[in-house]
Structure 1
Amino acid sequence: MATLTSIPLANTSPGDLRRMQLAWLAAAVFVVSAGYGALMPLLPGWLRPLMTDNDPTSVSRHVGYLSGIYTAGVLVGAPLWGLLSDRFGRARVLLLGLLGYVASLVSLLQPTWAGVIGIYALRGATGFFVAAVVPMVPALVAEHTPPSARARRFAWLGAMSLLGFLFGPGLNAAADRLARLAAFGGGPAWSPAPLVIGLSAALGALMMLGLVLTLPSAPSSKVSEQPERDREVGGQSATLWLINGAVMFVLAGFELGIVLQGEQHPELSSRDISLMFAECSLVMLAINALLFFTGLLERADPRRVMGAGMVLAAAGLGMLARHANEAWMYLGVSFTAAGTGIVLPTVSYLAATSARHRLGVAMGGLAAAAGLGQTLGSAAMGWLFGAIAQDSFAWLALPLLVILAAVLIRSGWWPARLAPPPQSPSSTSTEFTP
């Protein structure tokens, strides 16, 4: 858990993004993240009137399945959109993704018309079209950003995604407040659900309009004349996909584990669980701010940065497994959030070193790996938590430790910044230097 445009800021190259262009791209990430967080709480309310047995267990099961179908849409869509963007252009794919996102939301305004099967199809379609937005924004930013500014902009995109997740539940609260005000004023009774859907769709449509007006023209694309370097970047991308999937596996299991631990330990109230989730988001935001303001990724070896993040996350999971008291829980949440918050933006930063004609595939692969990791992490945690209770947090550190061990044994597997290809004196490099 994170690409377009060219208009120069002060002292930037002609292909760089203007502030307004970057703002619209970041806003697109914010909107789709907020939409996911806003719509998830609405799912039980849509399902109950459509089901013959109003059994809470059955409704909960369907909510879980709907979450899975959304992720399945991302898994299918991300690699496909990545391939299409390398062939037809990232701006077109991004706009098509936003169009499909808005259409799938508007169709949910009448869930009784869609039925249970229709809701599944629409949630899968939403995930499929979101997969055309999330990878394309960083791909566009990488394509139109000089190396000296890339790390800060990727950290900014990560922060906007986190803010979107935080804003999503707030959108529900705002819609509920508007519905109550309408009823209090003597107007017709409004349901908050259509308001949330309408606001989410309107924001998506606004993003389309803003991007249509600000997206830059595609840079000229040349077929690589360095097959050896392409193979090196391709191998790096595969390693980055593995790391991204593993860290998202851990993050998804960690977040679900916090909720499940509240079920098994009465001393942890719903307020405590909510505070832990807020703490997790705020710590990750602070890490993104650190990367944004200090330019750490531009100065430090990304391999060491990711290694430190994995050690931090593993230490936090150990503290959560210990669970001696609430203080250990909060400390463990902070360490785990900080560790994963370091690794994920670094992975995106390194993926931006891919050759331009492979950038869509690289970013699409990252999104697909993240979706797969989330799905497997949530499923594994839900299945194992009942068997090993609070100690289930400890096994989540295993994927991180395995990756670290593999790196120590085979350092060549570890992704690093690549030297730029030789260029003529008149050309401008857009790759990372060692």
Structure 2
Amino acid sequence: METSGSGDSGMSLDPSLLSGPRDDKSDRSIRGRTNSNGGFTTLLAATFVVFLGYGTVLPILPLFLDRVLSMTGADEVALHTGLLTGVYTLALFGFAPLWGGASDRLGRRAVLLWGLAGFALAMLGFSLTRNLPLAYGARALAGAFAAAVIPVAQAQAAEYGGAVLRARRFAWLSAAATLGFLSGPMLSGWLASIPMVMPQAEMVLGGPVAWPFVVTAGLAGAVWLVVYRHVPGRPARLYPAGRHAPEVASTWPTGGLLTLTLLAMLGLGAFEVGLSLQARQSIGLDPFRIGLLFTVCSLVMLVVQILWSTHPPKRLSSGHLIGGAFLLMAVGVLGLPYATNFWGAFVAVGLLGAGSGVLIPLLAYQVSLASGSAQGAALGKQTALASLGQAAGSTGAGLLFVGSALGTYWGLAILLFITAATAFCARHRLIAPSS
């Protein structure tokens, strides 16, 4: 395992810390400014609100189509629920590299402001829509502008400090995303359950069914104000002449790391669909317990990401960690078809949640190390491929599960096992920070 510069020695995680080595005057100046302004906390808030918006929409979308857009057929509601979700993901895939590259040229703050403003307006516009074409347009715009927040927040967080602090910040950003996704359904469920006191035709903004979108838009607007006030306009890394950045770049090519991201998210997306089908058709679980399993997966990911941020491993290379994480995912995928009750599925979900909880921030961190000055472009590509992998995994699992459920699980597990073995064999090329 490679070591980072001495400036990271003994550094503790402070979400508001956007500083570099402690012994450099210019970096102390930056640290003082960003500490007082809570710059990194603002990035956490921006990431949280975007994923909150995604999690808020998922459970309420069928009800919105039924009550606000007046769709009566169950098949019609199911079709457009899937397509509207797919439009969002497709926009995220298409626009993330563009926004990331733009942030390298124009600055992170400007792109974050555009992204949050557009996301807020798109969410508000969706709550106001009364026909299907406008609904598709609003969801596409929401995905396009969310694509400006996710990779650019990571690129902004990578601008200051050394490898240890960067790894911890990426873990915190992943935790904020997981927490937002987990909180979204609870928020929408609570708001949509408010009793309707007016006839539907007289309701403002579609009534409680549309309120989750309005509240999310308001939160995004509030975060926009905080970003405008607290995120520096020029977040370029500042090191004095002759001083090297206190970190070692990953020797893996960016393309290899992006491929690992695609495979990790493909496995996660396929597992999510497989879990829904397996738990209902083979194990016979009710919707409450199926939802509980998804909550367990998110909570395990959140706990792993928080532990990573507060106690990063010091004796394992990133190759060991990536290989081990893919191995956990493979075992979890392979264990699911053999689970005969809730607790068997619980163990499989926990293993996959732990593996993906390590992989998501660690791969983003490695891509950041390998990308040099093109942080936004590289992280934008990673966000796009993550979206593509998850969508492809979900779609593929849904199609293949009908024909051969067990074969689908085994095929996915073998792919993940091979990826784990590849990471273990190439472990010397993946650099991990050490305190």
TM-score when normalising by structure 1: 0.84
1:77 matched to which residue of 2?
95
2:384 aligned with 1:365, yes or no? no
Residue 50 and residue 402 in structure 1: after superposition, are their counterparts in 2 closer, same or farther (change >3 A)?
same
Answer whether contact 2:51 2:177 (CA < 8 A) is retained. yes
2:3 matched to which residue of 1?
none
Residue 396 and residue 212 in structure 1: after superposition, are their counterparts in 2 closer, same or farther (change >3 A)?
same
Greater Cα offset, 137-146 or 22-31: 137-146
**What amino acid sits opposite 2:308 in the alignment?**
L
Answer whether contact 1:175 1:196 (CA < 8 A) is retained. yes
Residue 47 and residue 271 in structure 1: after superposition, are their counterparts in 2 closer, same or farther (change >3 A)?
closer
Greater Cα offset, 82-91 or 352-361: 352-361
1:277-319, Cα deviation, whole Å (9 max, x unpaired)? 11111111111122112122x5531110111111111111111
1:148-185, Cα deviation, whole Å (9 max, x unpaired)? 312222111111111101110111133135x32977xx
Answer whether contact 2:53 2:184 (CA < 8 A) is retained. yes
2:41 matched to which residue of 1?
23
Supply the distance in 2 between the matched residues of 1:53 and 1:202 (Cα, whole angstroms): 27
Residue 371 and residue 299 in structure 1: after superposition, are their counterparts in 2 closer, same or farther (change >3 A)?
same
Answer whether contact 1:71 1:127 (CA < 8 A) is retained. yes
2:74 matched to which residue of 1?
56
**What amino acid sits opposite 2:319 in the alignment?**
R
**2:150 aligns to what SS in structure 1?**
coil
Q: Which runs of 5+ in 1 are unaligned?
A: 223-231, 419-431
**Displacement of 1:205:** 0.3
2:394 aligned with 1:378, yes or no? yes
Residue 173 and residue 76 in structure 1: after superposition, are their counterparts in 2 closer, same or farther (change >3 A)?
same
2:163 aligned with 1:147, yes or no? yes
Answer whether contact 1:29 1:137 (CA < 8 A) is retained. yes
**Displacement of 1:262:** 3.2
**Displacement of 1:103:** 1.2
User: How does 1:197-346 map onto structure 2 within 5 Å?
Assistant: 197-220=213-236, 236-265=253-282, 267-296=284-313, 299-346=315-362
Residue 171 and residue 415 in structure 1: after superposition, are their counterparts in 2 closer, same or farther (change >3 A)?
farther
Give the RMSD, CA atoms, in angstroms. 2.9
User: How does 1:117-128 map onto structure 2 within 5 Å?
Assistant: 117-128=133-144
**Displacement of 1:404:** 3.0
Identity of aligned residues (%): 30
2:129 matched to which residue of 1?
111
**What amino acid sits opposite 1:236 in the alignment?**
P
**What amino acid sits opposite 2:184 in the alignment?**
G
Q: How many residues align?
A: 400
TM-score when normalising by structure 2: 0.84
Greater Cα offset, 5-14 or 22-31: 5-14
**Displacement of 1:355:** 4.6
Answer whether contact 1:323 1:390 (CA < 8 A) is retained. no
1:72-94, Cα deviation, whole Å (9 max, x unpaired)? 10111011111111111111111
Answer whether contact 1:5 1:214 (CA < 8 A) is retained. no
Greater Cα offset, 156-165 or 233-242: 233-242
Supply the distance in 2 between the matched residues of 1:233 and 1:312 (Cα, whole angstroms): 23
Residue 408 and residue 348 in structure 1: after superposition, are their counterparts in 2 closer, same or farther (change >3 A)?
closer
**Displacement of 1:252:** 0.9
Answer whether contact 2:319 2:429 (CA < 8 A) is retained. yes
Q: Which runs of 5+ in 2 are unaligned?
A: 1-14, 239-248
Answer whether contact 1:7 1:216 (CA < 8 A) is retained. no
1:379-430, Cα deviation, whole Å (9 max, x unpaired)? 0011011112355333222332232344466x38x85239xxxxxxxxxxxx
Residue 312 and residue 302 in structure 1: after superposition, are their counterparts in 2 closer, same or farther (change >3 A)?
same
Greater Cα offset, 260-269 or 315-324: 260-269
Residue 400 and residue 135 in structure 1: after superposition, are their counterparts in 2 closer, same or farther (change >3 A)?
same
2:111 aligned with 1:93, yes or no? yes
Supply the distance in 2 between the matched residues of 1:239 and 1:10 (Cα, whole angstroms): 30
Answer whether contact 2:87 2:136 (CA < 8 A) is retained. yes
1:347 matched to which residue of 2?
363
Supply the distance in 2 between the matched residues of 1:152 and 1:234 (Cα, whole angstroms): 20
**Could you say which structure has the greater relative contact order, defined with CA pairs below 8 angstroms and 6 or more residues apart?**
2
